[in-house]
Structure 1
Amino acid sequence: MKNVSSAVIILFAATSSENPGKLKKDHDTIRVKDLKVSVPFYRDILGLEQIDNAGLGDHIKWFKLGNEVQVHLVESDIVVEKNKGVHSAFNTQNLTKFMEFLKAKNIAFENGDGEKNTFTDRPDGVRQIYFQDPDGYWIEVNDNKLP
């Protein structure tokens, strides 16, 4: 029986590493209380480009990042529990400049331990900060070198 479970694990590892669906990130959906508050934040603070929402109505706004991944904001009364461990992560080539921008906009940020106005310096050399959007969702911005 021990050999059978080992074979299953090896088979799963081989199959999952091949990514048969060739999956790529498409979008995240975020439920927000007020689009009049959230749209300017995602557009002006995060710098996302607002795009057509495929005719889904005025309660849904779509944005895209430079890599074509989308963020969909849906106005809703549903309350979602927020937790720093569940966050969206974005990347910048200049984290220091972005931190200065947040300070100029009076947007509080912190490191992973909750220390204000500073960053986490991960063992791999990537620096990261965390802050919240108008609905309290946690956002990470880091300076990881993406391909």
Structure 2
Amino acid sequence: MAVSNAQSNPYGLNKDHDAILVLDVNASAKFYGEILGLEEIPNGGLPDHIRWFQLNDKIQIHLIESEELPKKNKGVHMALNTSNLTELMKFLNSRKIHFENWSGEAGKTNTRPDGVKQIYFQDPDGYWIEVNDGEL
């Protein structure tokens, strides 16, 4: 049963950003800029070890250089969507970036019960990223 937005989100909360710890902020920035094609934006006057990127919907990813990283698990991942999943897969192949389906089969997609196709790959620090062809 659907609940009205006013009842389920009385404060009008929207996603602003995700922050992740990275070993080398420049290497990670290169990945998020060149591979994912995200726009780098000013980091609000913070030190150089923090870099900000923005998705088309204005949600941000903050990269924070750190000496310690959390343990990685495919079940804990960032999920992005695109209408160009096939083109993205071709691009990842051309850059020799490994991607797989949920069960770990290299170079393959899987289809969720709702018909959405998805792939998974990792950034330079091992964070899992899902990209799917679903629409919001």
Task: Decide: shared fold, TM above 0.5.
Answer: yes
**Match of 2:82, as an amino acid?**
T
Work out the CA distance in 2 between the residues paired with 1:75 and 1:21.
Answer: 32
**Structure 1 segment 27-106 matched on structure 2, within 5 A:** 27-106=17-96
How many residues align? The count is: 134
Work out the CA distance in 2 between the residues paired with 1:140 and 1:34.
Answer: 22
**Unaligned stretches of 5+ in structure 1?**
1-12
What per-residue deviation string (whole Å, max 9, x for no partner) do you get for residues 77-119 of structure 1? 0121000000001111011111001000100000000000000
What per-residue deviation string (whole Å, max 9, x for no partner) do you get for residues 27-82 of structure 1? 00010000121011000111110000011110100010000000000000012100
Question: After the TM superposition, which of the residue ranges 13-22 and 134-143 deviates more from structure 2?
Answer: 13-22
- The structure whose Rg is larger is 1
**Match of 1:107, as an amino acid?**
I
**Unaligned stretches of 5+ in structure 2?**
none
The structure carrying a bigger helix percent of its residues is 1
Work out the percentage of aligned pairs sharing the same amino acid.
Answer: 57
TM-score, structure 1 as length reference: 0.87
